[in-house]
Amino acid sequence: MPLTDEQVQALQPGSKARRFADGGGMYLEVTPAGGRYWRLKYRIGGREKRISLGVYPTVSLGEAREAAQAARAQLAQGIDPSQHRKARKAVGDRWPPPDLVEEAQRVLVLMLRQSRDDGARVMAARAILGVEEDQS
């Protein structure tokens, strides 16, 4: 049975960390110190993993469910949510990473210089300049 906000507010810490299931692998972990952590347990590649969805009350029950749903959508595409989070954290707000953009531009310029095909040259030039292809 899914948790309600009233149930979450009423939970008291015990002598050990306890888990209260919400469904679909999501649960609230209540620590002896009183911390309340939203987590999602999932399996990928035959291994069980878990990720943190946030700390209650900063992250509400609804927000935790939305985060869990987003993680499940990534799993459906074969993406490990934990690895995805680590990769996004590594590049920060810069996506795509600047070195990837520079490398792509370098390759496109090389293609432009080496191509004898006018169509390929036009495609490479448009890609470098970020020009959309005409739909007419």
Q: What is the pLDDT of residues 20-31, one digit of tens each?
A: 999 999 999 999
The pLDDT, as a whole number, for residue 100 is: 75
For residue 136, is pLDDT > 50? Answer: no
Residue-wise pLDDT tens digits, 58-92:
999 999 999 999 999 999 999 999 988 888 777 66
How many domains does the chain contain in total?
2
The pLDDT, as a whole number, for residue 128 is: 66
Residues 67, 119, single domain; the answer is no
**φ, ψ of residue 40 in degrees (nearest 5):** -125, 125
What SS3 state is found at 51? strand
C-alpha to C-alpha distance for 42 and 82, rounded to whole angstroms: 10
Least confident residue range of 19-33, 49-63, 101-115: 101-115
Whether 135 is in a domain gets the answer: no
Whether 71 is in a domain gets the answer: yes
Whether 49 is in a domain gets the answer: yes
C-alpha to C-alpha distance for 132 and 129, rounded to whole angstroms: 9
Average pLDDT for the chain: 85
Q: Which residue carries 């459906």 as its tokens?
A: 76
